[in-house]
Amino acid sequence: MPNIVALHELTTEQKQKIRDIAPDYDLIAGKYKELPSGTVAQADIVLGWTSSATEEALSDHSRIRWIQVWSAGVDRMPLKELEQKNILLTNASGVHAIPITEQIFAMLLAYTRNLHHAVRQQSQSKWDKSGTFRELSGKTAVIVGVGQIGSTTAKVAKAFGMRTVGVRRSGKPDPNVDVMYTVDQLDQALAEGDFIINILPLTDETKGLYDAGRFEAMKDDAFFVNMGRGPSVDTEALIEALKSGHLAGAGLDVFEQEPLPSEHPLWGMDNVIITPHTAGDTVHYTERVLDIFLENLKAYRQGEALPRNVIDYEKAY
């Protein structure tokens, strides 16, 4: 009997939804370390992923044909090996549009209204009205990596009265973006932004993309937000841009090294807002991933191409 192995906790109702679509598949659910040895290798479909399963999943006796990962990013997956074994790989792209957009604007509003300073002062019972209070209205948001998250971010930015500039590989227009550039025109786009928002995945092309030259291309007093991947940013170059005053501040959810070491200088910078890689977290996460998986599972059972989120191994996303 073919089987599906889920490496995340599922409710009884969620398990039943899977069984309703694939009644002839055995469903096994549990954390990887709690499953009997060899369970993943004997799966036809794996829902979820852990690096601990890599050796077993890639073994000669593995029969895995499809892996649905729980995240949007697949940069930590053994992509070359999975491609060689002709394993379909799908991600959770689309799950994050609402929470990450809201996190982005939490950063922007905290910065413009000095909420990050107010929170620090509150912890000291300190009444301090000093500081510069800015507005989003009339400012330009440059969104680098316009996919589902970027388009949603642009839509919300327009509601705040902002001008929106986008950057995407194809340069294809988006109804929520006033001006769209290609990646080759990145420096031109950066020069227009009061707020630079990075949502790019990590690939060979995006690693170290934001170096000293890129920060120099940004406006004086720009605010930089990174919701993509930490290694896309040269951290030392970012710190230098912040220290010099060229950048007014930064909102960071991802870092080159995670967890961010306690002695790291970013922690002590008043113009930096830090969250611990939680931008995509939401109480609705599992149900949204499952919606993607169930739609793909219907197609898979019927021998059709998977309609959602199939990873292009050549592009790595």
Q: In whole angstroms, what is the distance from residue 132 CA to residue 113 CA?
A: 8
In a shared domain, residues 32 and 130: no
CA nearest neighbour of 89 among 293, 231, 298 = 293
pLDDT at 202 over 90: yes
pLDDT cut 90: percent of the chain above it:
99
- Residue 314 belongs to some domain of the structure: no
- Closest Cα partner for 95 from 186, 164, 8? 8
pLDDT score at 213: 98
* DSSP result, 20-33: HH-TTSEEEES-GG
Confirm whether 13 is domain-assigned. Answer: yes
Q: Are residues 237 and 167 in the same domain?
A: yes
pLDDT-above-70 percentage for the chain: 100
Pair 74, 142 in one domain: no
Question: What's the chain's average pLDDT?
Answer: 97
Q: What is the mean pLDDT of residues 215-242?
A: 98
Question: For residue 6, what pLDDT band results from cuts at 50, 70 and 90?
Answer: very high
What sign for the dihedral angle of Cα 313, 315, 316, 317? negative
108 and 240 in a single domain? The answer is yes
Shared domain for 49 and 158, answered yes or no, is: no
Can you tell me the mean pLDDT for 138-144? 98
Question: The domain containing residue 88 runs over which residues?
Answer: 3-94+283-301
* Residue type for position 4: I
Residue 137 and residue 148 in one domain: yes
The secondary element (H helix, E strand) that includes residue 151 is: helix 148-159
228/156 same-domain check: yes
On whether residue 312 sits in a domain, the answer given is no
Given this model, what pLDDT does residue 91 score? Answer: 97
For residue 133, the domain's CATH number is 3.40.50.720
User: Is 245 within the bounds of a domain?
Assistant: yes
Q: What angle do CA 153, 281, 96 make, to 5 degrees?
A: 35
Q: Give the mean pLDDT of 163-170.
A: 97
pLDDT reported for residue 189: 98
Burial class (CB in 10 A: 0-12, 13-18, 19+), 266: middle
Residue 308 lies in a domain: no
Helix (H) or strand (E) holding 180: strand 179-181
**pLDDT tens, residue by residue, 78-125:** 999 999 999 999 999 999 999 999 999 999 999 999 999 999 999 999
Helix axis angle for 97-112 and 148-159, nearest 10°, is: 40
Say yes or no: 127 and 82 in one domain. Answer: no
Distance CA 254, CA 235 (A): 11
Matching residue, tokens 């967890």 = 259
> Are both 71 and 105 inside the same structural domain?
no
Summarize pLDDT for 280-305 with one digit per residue, the tens.
999 999 999 999 999 999 999 999 99
End-to-end CA distance of the chain: 32
Domain co-membership, 39 together with 106: no
Q: Which helix (H) or strand (E) holds 90?
A: strand 88-90
Q: Is the same domain home to 256 and 137? A: yes
In a domain, 238, yes or no: yes
Looking at residue 194, its pLDDT comes to: 98
Residues tagged active-site: 229, 258, 277
Domain count, the chain: 2
Can you tell me the distance from the alpha carbon of 163 to that of 175, in angstroms, rounded to the nearest whole number? 13
pLDDT in the model for residue 1: 87
Q: Summarize pLDDT for 9-56 with one digit per residue, the tens.
A: 999 999 999 999 999 999 999 999 999 999 999 999 999 999 999 999
Domain presence at residue 76: yes
Determine, yes or no, domain membership for 306: no
Domain match, 151 and 29 both: no
